[in-house]
Structure 1
Amino acid sequence: MSKKKIVLDAILQQGILPLFYHDVVDESVELVKTLYNAGVRVFEFTNRGDKAEVVFKALLSVRDQEMPGLYLGIGTIKNAKEASLFIDLGADFIVSPIVNPSVGKLVNEAGLLWVPGCMTPTEIYTAQEYDAALIKLFPANILGPGFMTAIKDLFKGQLFIPTGGVDIEINNLKSWFQSGVCAVGMGSKLIDPKQTEGLEERTVLALSLVSQARQNNKM
């Protein structure tokens, strides 16, 4: 099975993609260890600061030694230079806030999953043209579940994950899964790098609520 398919399946199984950026190596490592202990097996570190490369290297190193079965992706990748850098470092998948065809081409050539961010049907169509198996609806708090409901018949079979403003709250999660998404991205609503107390419990709760929301959607 290809790396692309393995990571995609892991995201679908988990139902939630936690993400954050933090520029302190030791604190970032502890954060990811906490997520791992709570049951997370796919995680996105975001390329939103000068220390992203250094921290990501450290996360990969500790993952290889202490967190078997964890897939580490890099987010906020906007151009091919950034994508190439993190692919060479060993990123398991690439997430973008935009649709940049050169990034899609590069990631696909590397045999990895590319998750571009889209806000319009035209962007979704463009992302599909460059083999985006999973598309990020971003920003989700602006688009809302109603957008997903409205466009899903236009793009039958396409997998979507909303990111930005998804709440750890059963009714919010139900509304997203009922609209047709396959998983949800969760950043600041789940993880505050400066306030880690209760993170493991919050993550366990989020995983549980996602599972519950999906079960209700199948009934």
Structure 2
Amino acid sequence: MNSITTILNHIQNYPIIPVYYNDDANKCISIVQACYEGGIRTFEFTNRGKKALDNFKALVDYRDKHLPELYLGIGTIKTPEEAQEYIQLGADFIVSPVVNPAIAEFTLKKDILWIPGCMTPTEISIAENAGAPLIKLFPGSIIGPDFLKNIKPLFPSLLFMPTGGIGLEKESLDAWFSKGAVAIGLGSNLFQAPSGSSTPDNYEWLVKRCQEVFSSLDDK
């Protein structure tokens, strides 16, 4: 099990984090594999469907055999009980859409990174007091980069990762990083297949898309 410090360093070294869920375990594996080939080394699977637990286990097994540099976390975790289930399966980090200090208490004891979702200064303060070193600003498309610019001086010891509705364009990513983000979570915009794609099960387009996103960060 990797420590909180190790995961934080890894996230900052590979600051694009795909956020994904699908009921089909084979599709999940193909998506993660394509992202890995495109340079992704941190991936957030989400607890958003009836197959989440089984599919996460399949992803961990596949990662352990084929993707040695990938850190695999679980998102949409709202209770300590959910966190415990996924940690037992091998989750490297825990992401929440809300601030629940009980999750912080549970994960901190195990030296596992918990990333809570926050939208207001009060929520950020509660998360900071609970011991969270990295905050997910959610939903990023509503909050906007200027919110981060204004809030960051109030919480100088915290790191921030916007997630939710963020575009893949260089200008969009640059806006967030220039205002103080250390990482960005990318969801549906990353995984939308090109229009007219005749081979939906061939994820070369996703490999290329991930490569292009990382390439746009070269001068970050």
TM-score (norm: length of structure 2): 0.93
Instruction: Give the number of aligned pairs.
Output: 213
Residue deviations 1:123-155 (CA, integer Å, cap 9, x gap): 001001111111000000000011111111111
Equivalent pair of 2:28/2:55 in contact (CA under 8 Å): yes
Aligned residue for 1:211? 218
Amino acid of the structure 1 residue aligned with 2:97: P
Aligned residue for 2:124? 124
Amino acid of the structure 2 residue aligned with 1:109: K
Amino acid of the structure 2 residue aligned with 1:198: W
Secondary structure of the 2:60 match is helix
Aligned residue for 1:151? 151
Question: Which sections of structure 2, spanning at least 5 residues, go unmatched?
Answer: 194-199
Equivalent pair of 1:21/1:46 in contact (CA under 8 Å): yes
Aligned residue for 2:197? none
CA distance in 1: counterparts of 2:125 and 2:35, whole angstroms: 34
Equivalent pair of 1:15/1:211 in contact (CA under 8 Å): no
Are the structure 2 counterparts of residues 2 and 88 from structure 1 closer, same or farther at C-alpha, using a change threshold of 3 Å?
closer
CA distance in 1: counterparts of 2:88 and 2:64, whole angstroms: 16
CA distance in 2: counterparts of 1:35 and 1:73, whole angstroms: 14
Aligned residue for 2:98? 98
Aligned residue for 2:27? 27
Equivalent pair of 2:170/2:213 in contact (CA under 8 Å): no
CA distance in 2: counterparts of 1:129 and 1:95, whole angstroms: 17
Are the structure 2 counterparts of residues 173 and 156 from structure 1 closer, same or farther at C-alpha, using a change threshold of 3 Å?
same
Aligned residue for 1:217? none
Amino acid of the structure 1 residue aligned with 2:215: S
Which of 199, 202, 208 is equivalent to 1:201? 208
Structure 1 residues 129-208: aligned runs within 5 Å: 129-192=129-192, 196=203, 198-208=205-215
Amino acid of the structure 2 residue aligned with 1:7: I
Q: CA deviation at 1:211?
A: 3.1
CA distance in 2: counterparts of 1:2 and 1:35, whole angstroms: 21
Amino acid of the structure 1 residue aligned with 2:43: F
Amino acid of the structure 2 residue aligned with 1:91: A
CA distance in 1: counterparts of 2:3 and 2:144, whole angstroms: 31
Q: CA deviation at 1:57?
A: 0.3
Aligned residue for 1:79? 79
Aligned residue for 1:65? 65
Two-structure CA RMSD over aligned residues (Å): 1.6
Mean CA deviation greater in 35-44 or 194-203: 194-203
Share of identical aligned residues, percent? 46
Are the structure 2 counterparts of residues 112 and 27 from structure 1 closer, same or farther at C-alpha, using a change threshold of 3 Å?
same
Secondary structure of the 1:210 match is coil
Q: CA deviation at 1:197?
A: 5.4
Equivalent pair of 1:19/1:191 in contact (CA under 8 Å): no
Equivalent pair of 1:139/1:162 in contact (CA under 8 Å): yes
Q: CA deviation at 1:2?
A: 5.5
Secondary structure of the 1:44 match is strand
Mean CA deviation greater in 188-197 or 126-135: 188-197
**2:89 matched to 1:89?**
yes
CA distance in 2: counterparts of 1:61 and 1:5, whole angstroms: 24
Equivalent pair of 1:75/1:94 in contact (CA under 8 Å): yes
Amino acid of the structure 1 residue aligned with 2:179: S
Q: CA deviation at 1:192?
A: 3.8
